[in-house]
Amino acid sequence: MRIAVINSYFPPRAGGSAHLSEAIARHCVEAGHEVLVITSAFPDASQEEVIDGMRVVRLSSFAPQSRLAFNYDIPFAISRRNYRKMSSLLSDFRPDVIHQHGQFFDLTWMSTFWARRHATPVVLSVHTRLISPSRMHGAILALGDLTIVRAMTRRSNPVVVAVDGPVHTYVRKRYSIPETRIVDIPVGIEPDRFRSDDGAAVRGRLGIGNRPMLLSLGHVIPLRDRLAIIEAMPLMLAEFPELVVVVVGNVYDDRFQTRARELGVEHALVVTGGVPKDAVPGYAAAADVEAHDLQGIGFGTASLEMLAAGVPVVTNATVDNYPTARLVDGESVIRPAGSRPEDVAEAFMRLLRDPDLRETVSRGGQALARAEFSMDEVAKRHMELYEKVSGGSAAP
C-alpha cells in the first residue's frame, strides 16, 4: 500500500503531531508499505531525504508567531509553486490513501484539492480543537472553523481520526462529520522510552536534593497556564514546606510566575524552559507527582508519557476523556474534587502523604499506558484503517 502523509509539523520540527506522524510512518515502512511524507521546511533540515525507508519532502514555508496561536510558529507553505510541486509528487507516487494531520494547515488544504480531483480517499487526524480562553480569539477561531475548515472537510469527505472524546464531539458538531466517518484512535506513546535512572542527576542539577518534587511538563500557554497549581501552592507548602514545583517547557504565558511572586511562593518554583526530548525521562524519574492538564482541556500526550514513566498524574480530565480507556481516580490518576485551590492542593497532598497510593497509581497508570496507548497498537489501528478506507469502504 502507498501512503502519503501530509503534516506541516514533522521532525525535526517539534510537536505532538510531528512525533506521532513520524512514528506511524515508521511502523508503516516496517510493515512493508511505501510512505511519502510532505511537510514544511525547517531550518537546517534537508529539502528532501530518505529516513528509515520513508521519503520526506519539505516544501518552502515561513513561520511567523502570533498571539492567536499562543506564540507557536505555524508554518505557511501555500503558494502556486508549492501546489504544483505537491501535485507532481502525489501524481508520481499515486497514493492509495492520504493521511492528513491537522485540519487547519495549508498543506492539508492543498492536498485536499488533489485528493478530490483524483478520487483518493483521505484520513484526517484532528489533534487539536480550535478554542481559546480569550473570547475574541475564540470567536475568530470559530469563524475560521465554520467557514474554511468545514468547507475543506466537505471537499475531501475524510474519515476523521479523533484522538480523544472532546475532539470526537468537536468534529461532529463543528464540521458536521457523521458518526459513521469518525474513528477513535488515541495518540500513541513509546512506553519504554521513559525508563531512566537519571532522576538523581536531574535533582542534582536543579539543586533540590531530596525535596518533594511536583513536575509540570509541557509548554505554558493560556490553555495550560499553571495558575491552578500556583494558587494551590500556599496550602501545599503549609504542610510540605520543602515542596518544589518544577515547570519544564517553553513559557508563552508568564502569568503563573507573576502570581507566584504575589503569593510569595516563587522560592518554591523552578522554571527550566524547554529541554531536549531525550531529557524528559530524567525529569520524570526525578518527580514524585506530575500535573499540567488542570483546565478541563483534556489529557494529552505529555500526560500519557508521565503515566508510562510511572509518575502519578493529577488531572481534572473526565474519566471517559478517551472512549477506549478510562481514567479512574485512585487507580490510574488522581482527580481533584473540584477546581478550588483547596481541592487542587488536597489532590496533590493525597499522593505526597501516602506512598502506598503513589505506588498504586503509578502501577495503574503504567499498565493503562502500555495496554491502550502503546505506539505499536496505535500504528496497527491506523494501518487497519488505511486498508479499509483504500479498499473502497464508504465508512471505517
pLDDT tens figures, 62-99: 876 555 445 556 888 989 999 999 999 999 999 999 99
Amino acid type, 63: A
Cβ atoms of 307 and 366 within 8 Å: the answer is: yes
Q: Which residues contact 122 (CB under 8 A, 6 or more apart)?
A: 97, 98, 99, 100, 111, 112, 115, 156, 157, 158, 159
Q: Using CA atoms, how far apart are residues 253 and 20, in angstroms rounded to an integer?
A: 26
Q: What is the mean pLDDT of residues 354-371?
A: 96
Q: How many domains does the chain divide into?
A: 2
Backbone angles phi, psi at 353, to 5 degrees: -80, -30
Q: Using CA atoms, how far apart are residues 168 and 334, in angstroms rounded to an integer?
A: 24
Question: Model-level pTM?
Answer: 0.82
**In this predicted structure, what is the pLDDT of residue 64?**
65
The strand ranges marked E within the chain are 2-7, 34-40, 48-51, 54-59, 97-101, 122-126, 159-162, 182-184, 213-217, 244-248, 269-273, 289-290
**In this predicted structure, what is the pLDDT of residue 392?**
46
- Return the SS3 of 340: coil
160 and 81 housed in the same domain: yes
**In this predicted structure, what is the pLDDT of residue 395?**
39
**In this predicted structure, what is the pLDDT of residue 65?**
58
209 and 292 housed in the same domain: yes
Q: Residue 108 sits in which domain range?
A: 2-188+375-390
124 and 204 housed in the same domain: no
CA angle in degrees (0–180, nearest 5) for 227-228-229: 90
CATH of the domain at 16: 3.40.50.2000
53 and 84 housed in the same domain: yes
233 and 350 housed in the same domain: yes
Q: What is the mean pLDDT of residues 203-222?
A: 94
The string of pLDDT tens digits covering residues 305-353 is: 999 999 999 999 999 999 889 999 999 999 999 999 999 999 999 999 9
Sheet holding 269-273, edge to edge: 269-273, 244-248, 213-217, 289-290
211 and 166 housed in the same domain: no
**In this predicted structure, what is the pLDDT of residue 396?**
39
Q: What is the mean pLDDT of residues 183-198?
A: 88
Q: Using CA atoms, how far apart are residues 224 and 218, in angstroms rounded to an integer?
A: 9
148 and 229 housed in the same domain: no
Is a pLDDT exceeding 90 seen at residue 281? yes
The string of pLDDT tens digits covering residues 237-271 is: 999 999 999 999 999 899 999 999 999 999 999 99
Backbone angles phi, psi at 361, to 5 degrees: -70, -35
150 and 17 housed in the same domain: yes
Quick one: pLDDT band at residue 156, thresholds 50, 70, 90?
A: confident
Cell of 240: 510540605
The reply to whether 280 falls in a domain is: yes
What is the CB-side half-sphere exposure of residue 314 using CA atoms within 13 A? Answer: 31
268 and 382 housed in the same domain: no
Lowest average pLDDT, out of 94-98, 118-122, 222-226, 292-296, goes to: 292-296
Q: Using CA atoms, how far apart are residues 155 and 76, in angstroms rounded to an integer?
A: 21
Strand partners, 56: 37, 49
Backbone angles phi, psi at 122, to 5 degrees: -125, 135
